[in-house]
Structure 1
Amino acid sequence: MTRLIPSEEELHAYVDDRLDPVRRAEVQAWLANHPKAAQRVEGWRADARQLRTSLAGLAQPLAGPRVDRDQLRQQARHRLKRRWASAAAIVLALGVGGLGGWQARDASFADAKPMADAVQAHRLFADSQALDIQARDPDQLRTWLQAHFHQVGQLPDLAGYGFAPVGARLLSNEQGPAALVVFQDGAGRRISLFLRSPGEHFRRMPQGQRIDGQLQARYWSHGAYNFALVSAADDGRGVGIGEALRTTL
């Protein structure tokens, strides 16, 4: 007998069109009677479109002949903040917008730079208030992370590098859940740890790093996940933090 209440994984699969037709119809009927869950799922879908557009190098048309990408990102943040405010009652919504299916499946992603999704997730969400949980306690963040990623190791305490936890956001890729974990130092500078399962276009990778604008991504694969630390390119602490993360996760 098919279980009526969908799991978190099934909701992600529903957004990504990975359910069989019978189960999809059951989940759709269940969502019709559970508006808070439906709002959460629609948030995932909206964020998926936004990040997919960003990763593909496209932009939604704005007034005038030229597209200002900074303006587009600012408008996206405003929309996300408004949606967060209207859905604040959803406890651990794990995505008043996760990014269900954010990785487009077309051929353009074959040439994507390593962990481009991590860099874009940092740009879109690390400086926003649209986090699923606000966590100032490292233990709270560790508990949250291990609850959703059972095969991940221990998240280290980054206080020695001047960073404290801010919160986290549950996202999604074509293979299932992903996450952005955000830290901040005393001057307000933020870094993020991004993790996800390898996917069709984003497979496991050797340890490496690259600079993208003013950001630097240090990436690696370990166990069941791909990881990326995203920080300011001029922040020398990234070397030590990256090493601390690689040896514990």
Structure 2
Amino acid sequence: MTNQDRPSEGGDRMGPPKPDRDLQALSAFIDDELHGDERDAVAERIANDPASEATAAAYRAQDNALRALFADQGEPQIVRLRPRSRERYLIAACFMVVGVACGFLMHMLLPALFGDEPRFAERADIAYAVYAPEQRHAVEVAASQQDHLVTWLSKRLNRAVTIPSLAEYGFQLVGGRLLPDEEGPAAQFMYQNAAGERLTLYMTTATIRRNDSKIRTLKDGQRTTFYWAWDRVGYALSGQIGEAKLQAIAYDTCKELGGDPKSW
């Protein structure tokens, strides 16, 4: 055993730490590196000093353990030192901090890079799934009070709201309601045809940071949502009618609300 392999201090079992020179002398004594008077002096100190005796015993136990470990090995072994428990906790904490920081940065950067449309489209799809089956409370304000509905939701969304007509496709306005979006209010307008099929048009200004009137599709089971963004408003048309028909309605609705057909 080399001096570098020895414990640097005795710990609670061996009393107060000894000077490095004394520990080196004890280490050399155990390794049979002392001779003559120097060896006799260290042997006497071990015999008369309990702390030195305990340190020497710890060194001998360490030597015996190493000899037993490598007694049957024909080739030199490489001993890999593992981090202490405290060091492992510190390493894990560092990785956790880095992971949280990366997640925060991705949360901040992804909307700027890719826009927020998928999130509002998902909210529109969920709102359709919740309210379309309702019979008595499908809307907050009925179509018979359309002027009030427009005034109310325009004030809440902080911009003029237009309710498009879908009459040419056989759908009449049922009414509308106010909904929460991620960072502010959203509006939902519901339409129904003679067969009882329903469509909803979702509008939000809360998280829209760029114009993109290219119409995209979100599907969830039998529900389909066509969504786009224009003039800093996000729109999503949801329904369970034929996809081709719903797409045609979405294109006409987008155009009526100011979207640019050239981007389709």
Greater Rg by CA: 2
TM-score by length of 2: 0.46
TM-score by length of 1: 0.48
